[in-house]
Chain A
Amino acid sequence: NAGVTQTPKFQVLKTGQSMTLQCAQDMNHEYMSWYRQDPGMGLRLIHYSVGAGITDQGEVPNGYNVSRSTTEDFPLRLLSAAPSQTSVYFCASSKEGLADNEQFFGPGTRLTVL
């Protein structure tokens, strides 16, 4: 199993550009989520999904869109990038999204918005 994969590893955008961060998992996990990590702060939840076709907002959802058309994939879309979205983004998955499930994290995407 590859686990959780993310692409790209690095990305530089100009303000106002759009892009999609890709996330895929091959563990047949129902629950997937996106976090951002900024210096001096803990991981913050952006959006999560409890299964195909079901998504919900986390702590910091503004400026980001998600959809979940398959169990395997959970892309994160930035519609109009802003410098405040410069961060490292991590995708994670867990088996059922229950509170006692461990989360498996991807390697991250480092995004810089100029």
Chain B
Amino acid sequence: SQKIEQNSEALNIQEGKTATLTCNYTNYSPAYLQWYRQDPGRGPVFLLLIRENEKEKRKERLKVTFDTTLKQSLFHITASQPADSATYPCALDVNTGFQKLVFGTGTRLLVSP
């Protein structure tokens, strides 16, 4: 069956450290993978998109990798801050035409001062 797996346990790290979140998928062949941020009681906010032919993408303190062989994406936040505390879902596009995103459950990140 098709699955997207993100760690359901919260990730606790100290301020200043690098947070690494994982998105694994099975039985999908996405051409694109997106990462979002969601705060409690609010809608998701788009962060980064990576294409299947891109190994790595960066935006300020954020870095995403995409390994289509391992069927895995890693999301890194460097120099983490308490304001980075949120849930981070990944999403795959599973349609060959118009966009149809399938979301993971997200991993909750807690950055302590």
Residues in chain A within 8 A of chain B (CB atoms) = 4, 31, 35, 40-45, 48, 50, 58-59, 90, 92, 94, 97-108
Contacts and interface: CB of A to CB of B under 8 A. Distances in A.
A44 B43 CA distance: 13
A105 B99 contact: no
B62 interface: no
Contacts of A90: 43-44
B44 A105 contact: yes
State the main secondary structure of chain A at its contact with B.
loop
Nearest to B98: A97
14 contacts: A31-B99, A35-B103, A41-B105, A43-B44, A43-B103, A48-B100, A90-B44, A102-B46, A102-B49, A103-B34, A103-B44, A103-B99, A106-B43, A108-B42
A93 to B, nearest CB: 11
B101 interface: yes
B100 A43 contact: no
Contact of A94 (B4, B51, B99): B99
A59 B4 CA distance: 15
